[in-house]
Amino acid sequence: MSVSTAAAAQSVCAPLPVLGRDVTVPLVTGGEVAYAALDYAASAPALQRVWDDVAAYAPYYGSVHRGAGYLSQLSTDLFENARRTVAEFLDCRPDDQLVFTRSTTDSLNLLARALPADCQVFVFETEHHASLLPWQDARVTYLNAPRTPRQAVETLERALADRDPYGPALVCVTGASNVTGELWPVRELAAAAHAHGARIVLDAAQLAPHHPVSVQDLDVDWVAFSGHKLYAPFGSGVLAGRADWLQAAEPYLAGGGASRKVTRREDGGVAVEWHESAARHEAGSPNVIGAYSIASACKALTEAGFDTLVARERQLIDAVRAGLAEVPEVRVLSLFGDDAPRVGVISFVVEGWNSSHFAAALSAEYGIGVRDGLFCAHPLVRTLLGSDPQTQGECGAPEAAPGEKSLNAIRVSFGAGTPDEHVERFVTAVRELVTDGAKWSYRTEDGRCVPAVS
């Protein structure tokens, strides 16, 4: 199955060039092939634009905020301009704070540390572990997986109606599933949260690289995302939103940069006055290159135009889904059904194959990189797989304990840097593996399925 002739004529190449597009990898069957990176949902390759911007700045790198030298002043301006660029990209409110973190996981853990006393947290079991697990010290209500967007809203409304209406509450929800790619009804969930006196944080890790995210339009209180999924893999993330809870909380990390004034007390201790700005939660030397790379990616996506990027990605999604639908042994995983809008993230299982074995064959025999396993969303994937049998084959699932039934899936994901040829090769490879079987033998090594030595 290939992209339609009209679509191919419009976009044979990816709209945004990325690093690694010319990398070749060896095949176990002999020869080399251009690597097809189809694991964007884990880490997207760096945009060429981001790499060029970082390389141009690197000679001018200096300490941020406290240096008197020219390079320090330049780096400080660049860092704070990056903050403004990302805030504009997210359409933040004028009084919102934007904190640079290490990742989505770090951002949500920061917010978890900033929760008011006795805060109730509501989170669906369908969340990525980054948004499912940080709330362990709060009163958490885990909500069952909904099977429609309307059911998601109704489930949340019922849970919020039963809570103590006088205490603080927070809802945490993804914008796009890292397993199914399906878009969640964020605006409607935000309205339900606010109607019941709760706040809401949006995990936009999988949404921001594919669709515009407007804090004001979605009416969310906070948004979190990672640079490494936004084509800026330099170890930085973002938490942006309302300032009050962040200003009232103890600093996420104690240290230089977070403190405004430190003095010795008469009793021999230390008295600290903390910043009230974003610096309160940015102790230590900031990752200025990480922040700058995110800002560069935000500019590149904005200039390319999300309307164009979304339309082109839909063509790729349609091509993959149509190709998989032609293989009866393939079952695509979904919460909301075939017609649900989604980003370029698709998970599936293949009858008669262990998913780890299938993913290994895609890599070794076709030069295609995908992900297999439970995708750091174990409750969701287990719900979607249910009691479906997984044939062990020559390789078992990495997550399966001894004697446990193997439950894992295959995930293909792509974005603005994916050329049509990668999608076409993937669909062809799936059909050939199912029809003809693997050309090589495989074994389990250190929990991973790898080609057996010939």
Residues with a catalytic annotation lie at 376
Ordered strands of the 169-174 beta sheet: 97-101, 237-241, 222-226, 199-203, 169-174, 120-124, 139-143
Tokens describing residue 212: 């515009």
- The CA distance from 186 to 175, in Å, is 6
Q: What is the DSSP letter of 133?
A: S
Per DSSP, the three-state class of 312 is helix
Q: What is the DSSP letter of 279?
A: G
Q: Do the beta carbons of residue 429 and residue 368 sit within 8 Å?
A: yes
Backbone conformation region of residue 87, classed left if phi is above 0, alpha if psi is from -120 to 50, else beta: alpha
User: What's the helix, strand, coil split of the chain in %, to 5?
Assistant: 35, 20, 45
Torsion over CA: 15, 18, 23, 25 (sign): negative
Question: What does DSSP say about strands 259-264 and 32-34: parallel, antiparallel, or unpaired?
Answer: unpaired
Q: Do the beta carbons of residue 370 and residue 362 sit within 8 Å?
A: yes
For residue 242, which of 222, 217, 269, 262 has the smallest C-alpha distance? 222
> Which residues, 6 or more positions from 82, have their beta carbon under 8 angstroms from its beta carbon?
100, 288, 291, 292, 294, 295
The helix or strand, by DSSP H or E, that contains position 449, with its residue range, turns out to be strand 448-451
Tokens describing residue 237: 């993330």
Alpha carbon 290 to chain centroid, angstroms: 16
Q: How big is the chain by its Cα radius of gyration, in Å?
A: 23
Distance of CA 439 to CAs 32, 78, 454, Å?
16, 52, 12
- The CA distance from 131 to 148, in Å, is 20
Residues shown for the chain? 454
